[in-house]
Amino acid sequence: MGELSPLRRSRITGVGHYLPEHIVSNDEISLRVETSDAWITERTGIRQRHFSAPFETTAFMGAAASREALAAAGVEADSVDAIILATATPDQAFPATAVHVQAAIGAKRAFAFDISAACSGFIYALSVADSMIRCGQVSTVLVIGSEVYSRILNFEDRGTCVLFGDGAGAVVLQAKTGGEGAGILSTHLHSDGAFAEILYVDGAVGQRDRPGHLVMNGREVFRQAVTLLSSAVNEALEANGLTAKDIDWLVPHQANRRIIDGVGKKLGLPPERVVVTVDKHANTSAASIPLALYQAVSDGRIKPGQLILLEALGGGLTWGSALLRL
Ligand code: UT7
């Protein structure tokens, strides 16, 4: 990275997670819909997912993940300047789920808001937080992804209901100067509303007669995913003058093992440098990247100083990447 600069950068200083207690195996879901463990495993890599109990709301899980991230960072809740929560399954149309997290953790000084970018939500939230930190508006931000997709699944559609799960992940992002080039190096965001109809919810939070179910043209999303994600990761590498060889870990959105492998292969990254949690969590949308990051940081695979590439694609379509040195 050349000479150390006094550049103000955003660094991840703590990671936290929450997964609902109730684990649902493929065999268990086969009792609700005509499918099988063999089909789900072969086509997606998913073996189980967590489904939330009524008390495990988006705010509840987001707050639990945030407490763990704050403790890992050694940051008190009242030092947090902003809370940005990415979700496609907010507890209410308003207020934002983020303000419920604020109240639950006692982050009295913070301002809080939600971001809606479906499965790309965490990358979008990270990008917004990074911009606010770099421009000096804030110094400490909680960036959260929290989802309860089990509440919007159509259990009569086997093409979608087997794919998703619930959970939350959070990171503490803090302004740092110097630090040997550590921090977020770049984020790239994209969307294309022309694809809105291949992945959407056919209703809205708060519509009592039509709360909405997830609808997806899986084959078309799959087709777009490998192409758009590969171009997003190349864009991140090119913008930083790096190649795939420089990447220590790819931490992708966890939708389908075949998409993850496809992007890894196009990049030329060996599977040992790709974090995979889709087998245990299924697709937790905005929560999937911070959950995967938590997993690999807490089991010691991801270490300080390493170069990490995050990527996601979701409803919108939205997609993007973030490159960071931990
Ligand atoms: O987070 C970002 C958004 N989501 C994604 O990135 C997901 C992207 N899409 C996918 O992961 C895959 O397209 C799926 C996993 C959803 C589906 O896999 P596929 O290989 O594209 O299968 P398909 O939709 O082409 O369906 C193949 C067959 C069909 O039967 P016929 O028409 O060939 O007789 C389906 O009816 O598999 C059948 N099928 C199932 N069978 C057993 C679909 N879902 C199931 C199921 N169990 N759960």
Q: What's the 3-state SS for 128-189?
A: HHHHHHHCCCCCEEEEEEEEEHHHCCCCCCHHHHCCECEEEEEEEEEEEECCCCCEEEEEEE
Nearest-angstrom CA–CA distance, 187 and 178: 19
Within 10 A of 238 (CB to CB), how many other CB atoms are there?
Answer: 11
Residue 7: pLDDT band with limits 50, 70, 90: confident
pLDDT at 71 over 90: yes
What confidence score (pLDDT) does residue 209 get?
63
pLDDT at 208 over 80: no
Find the 209 Cα to ligand 1 centroid distance in Å.
28
Task: Decide: 256 in ligand 1 pocket, CB within 6 A.
Answer: yes
CB burial of 218-235 (b: ≥16 within 10 Å; e: otherwise) equals beebbebbbebbbebbeb
Q: Which residues pair with 186 in a beta bridge?
A: 323
Task: Decide: 217 in ligand 1 pocket, CB within 6 A.
Answer: no
| Of the ranges 1-15, 206-220, 254-268, the best mean pLDDT one | 254-268
Nearest-angstrom CA–CA distance, 308 and 299: 16
User: Using one digit for the tens of pLDDT, what is the confidence trace for 236-290?
Assistant: 999 999 999 999 999 999 999 999 999 999 999 999 999 999 999 999 999 999 9
What confidence score (pLDDT) does residue 203 get?
82
* Average pLDDT over every residue of 104-125: 98
Residue 206: pLDDT band with limits 50, 70, 90: low
- The residue whose CB lies within 8 Å of the most ligand 1 atoms, and thus the one to mutate among 256, 260, 289, 291, is 256
Tell me if domain 9-176 and domain 183-325 are identical in fold: yes
* Average pLDDT over every residue of 115-126: 98
What confidence score (pLDDT) does residue 5 get?
47
**Annotation marks residue 17 as catalytic:** no
CATH architecture label of 9-176 = 3-Layer(aba) Sandwich (3.40)
Nearest-angstrom CA–CA distance, 3 and 175: 19
pTM higher than the cut 0.85: yes
pLDDT at 4 over 80: no
What confidence score (pLDDT) does residue 246 get?
95
Output the residue whose Cα is nearest ligand 1's atom 39: 159
Amino acid sitting at position 243: T
Nearest-angstrom CA–CA distance, 267 and 3: 29
The region of weakest confidence among 123-132, 164-173, 178-187 is 178-187
Give DSSP secondary structure letters for 219-245. HHHHHHHHHHHHHHHHHHHHHTT--GG
- The residue whose CB lies within 8 Å of the most ligand 1 atoms, and thus the one to mutate among 222, 285, 317, is 222
**Annotation marks residue 281 as catalytic:** no
* Average pLDDT over every residue of 79-96: 96
CA proximity to 274, closest of 286, 282, 284, 295: 295
**Annotation marks residue 119 as catalytic:** yes
What confidence score (pLDDT) does residue 194 get?
98
Within 10 A of 174 (CB to CB), how many other CB atoms are there?
Answer: 22
Start-to-end CA span in the chain (Å): 14
CATH dotted code for 183-325: 3.40.47.10
Supply 177's token pair. 């100067």
Residue 293: pLDDT band with limits 50, 70, 90: very high
pLDDT at 159 over 50: yes
Residue 181: pLDDT band with limits 50, 70, 90: confident
Amino acid sitting at position 11: R
* Average pLDDT over every residue of 165-170: 98
Contacts of 275 (CB under 8 A, 6+ apart): 249, 250, 251, 252, 292, 293, 295, 296, 301, 302
What 8-state DSSP symbol labels residue 76? -
For the chain, the structural domain boundaries read 9-176, 183-325
